[in-house]
Amino acid sequence: MTQRANAAPQVVVVGSINMDMVSHSRRLPGPGETLMGEAFVMAPGGKGANQAVAAARLGAPVAFVSRVGTRQHGAELLAALAEEGIATSGVVADPAALPGVAVIMVASEGGENSIVYVPGSNAQLSAADVQTSAALLQSAKVVVAQLEVPVPAITQAFELARATGVTTILNAAPALPVGDALLALSNWLIVNETEAGQLAGMASGSVDEAAAAALALLQRGPQQVLVTLGAQGVLLCGAAGVQHLPARVVKAVDTVGAGDTFVGGLAAGLAEGMSATDAVRLGQAAAAIAVSRSGVQSAMPRRAEITL
């Protein structure tokens, strides 16, 4: 455990955590078929936990607010957070529940994958669970959430945070409908190109279309809307207009988790007091390193690896 665990948390992530169970086989099996696999890996994941790890690796003191079933792999998931120096006092451990699990099959020829995600205890995170972390949320610099936990829990977290002037970041992923009440509680809205289009109900296939979708989303309450465009970088959209910040040029090996690394990096930068564009650059620098390595949490860089 690092000394960060003792510092007052500046970034509080409210979100999901699960175990990724990944098998590699030459091709994906068809219905009813059994294949011999080549490798199997188990690794902690979930958008919430991923973003918490990304921010912690970059040096932010981080706390996690979540509900974790401690049957089966739950204890391992909690231990992994502690290893990263992430405070877990806001994690409600539920001995009766199963933690979330993602069963992932990857074809070694072609890289295609199939995923079954079972949310487990993530689906049970309640507003009352979040309320028990009120002091943590209200003394943070930045509170971050994604849509893999129920909206009432996120709303509760953002209401508490905003009441004391804490900056809120909603990463509206996966693509699910979000009401204007939650958007109005979000200082920052972060979506990828696809999510931007679905949330705005508009086309978002080109940079111009994504910019139009971002401007439409800005009208629904957030002060800043960020649309991530993969290798094309991000659109930063606020009162001053739309700014396109290109991504760093790297050889991408595995882009899974790019968005989570970016969001964690942005949160760490804002918590440090960086300007919006500098915090975006920190997120982009971290995500560029992460996509150049395989794995999700295992690919996330430490602060010493970042050049801005």
List contacts with ligand ADP (CB under 6 A). 173, 192, 228-231, 233-234, 247-248, 250, 252, 255, 258-259, 262, 284, 287-288, 291
Amino acid letter at 32?
A: G
Amino acid letter at 119?
A: P
Beta bridge partners of 234: 228, 245
User: Is 260 a known active-site residue?
Assistant: yes
Q: Which residue is nearest to ligand ADP (CB)?
A: 259
- Nearest distance from C-beta of residue 193 to ligand ADP, angstroms: 7
- Nearest distance from C-beta of residue 245 to ligand ADP, angstroms: 8
* Token pair in block for residue 98: 């199963």
Q: Strand, coil or helix: what is 302?
A: coil
Instruction: Give the Cα separation of 17 and 267 in Å (integer).
Output: 18
- Nearest distance from C-beta of residue 253 to ligand ADP, angstroms: 9
For ligand ADP, the closer CB: 53 or 98: 53
- Nearest distance from C-beta of residue 48 to ligand ADP, angstroms: 14
For ligand ADP, the closer CB: 159 or 278: 278
For ligand ADP, the closer CB: 96 or 249: 249
* Residue 130 CA: distances (Å) to CA of 175, 205, 249: 23, 36, 39
Amino acid letter at 165?
A: G
Q: Strand, coil or helix: what is 226?
A: strand
Distance in angstroms between the alpha carbons of the first and the last residue of the chain? 27
For ligand ADP, the closer CB: 215 or 250: 250
**Among 20, 94, 129, 260, which one carries the catalytic annotation?**
260
Catalytic residues, by residue number, are 260
